[in-house]
Amino acid sequence: MSENNIVLQMRLVSVDEIMFMMSSAGIGNAFRSEDIQIGFSNKVDYAEETDEITLDFGVKYAVHSEDVLECVCRFKFSVVDLKRFIQVNAKDNSVTITHIMPHLLSVAVGTMRGILIAKTAGTPLAKYPLPMLDINRLNASLSDDSL
């Protein structure tokens, strides 16, 4: 199947907050955007029999090496004929999810940005929403940790 001919039929089923922590009291207003380090994490699970894939996506902000914000949400998607996008390596049972991860991450990042804007309102962190990201680059950096 040519990559250009893949038709994706998927929908976001639910978003659930798994964990949220914010501690901006110690940092005050005396920091710049350059002082913020942002990290990401993900965990993927799937059920071929129900065509559902779950992405636990996390964001962490640190200022001067102190964790000031962490949020992890679970995104559940329904993907028609999910098995087309799941490849299992027979030698080591490792799993590769093809074609759909950038789409899942794009939804997760955009939704997470909105969640963080709402959660940080009125705090010093409100001035630093999740930046625009290259989803393909993020996917590549997270792919080693997926499944």
pLDDT at 3: 54
Residue 106 lies inside a defined structural domain of this protein: yes
| pLDDT above 50 (res 133) | yes
pLDDT at 22: 93
Residue 3 lies inside a defined structural domain of this protein: no
Q: Residue 59: CB partners within 8 Å, gap ≥ 6?
A: 38, 39, 40, 69, 70, 71, 72, 112, 116, 130
- Distances from the Cα of 65 to the Cαs of 14, 37, 72, in angstroms? 33, 8, 19
Instruction: Say if residues 51 and 81 touch (Cβ distance below 8 Å).
Output: yes
Confidence band, pLDDT 50/70/90 cuts, at residue 146? very low
Residue 58 lies inside a defined structural domain of this protein: yes
Q: What region, left, alpha or beta, does residue 28 occupy, with left being phi > 0 and alpha being psi -120 to 50 degrees?
A: left
Q: Residue 74: CB partners within 8 Å, gap ≥ 6?
A: 14, 15, 16, 17, 18, 54, 55, 56
Residue numbers of the domain that contains 126: 8-142
pTM of the model: 0.86
* Residue-wise pLDDT tens digits, 57-98: 999 999 888 899 999 999 999 999 999 999 888 888 888 888
pLDDT at 27: 65
pLDDT at 94: 82
pLDDT at 25: 61
CATH of the domain at 96: 3.10.420
- Distances from the Cα of 20 to the Cαs of 69, 71, 90, 101, 124, in angstroms? 8, 4, 38, 24, 17
Residue 1 lies inside a defined structural domain of this protein: no
Query: How many domains is the chain built from?
Result: 1
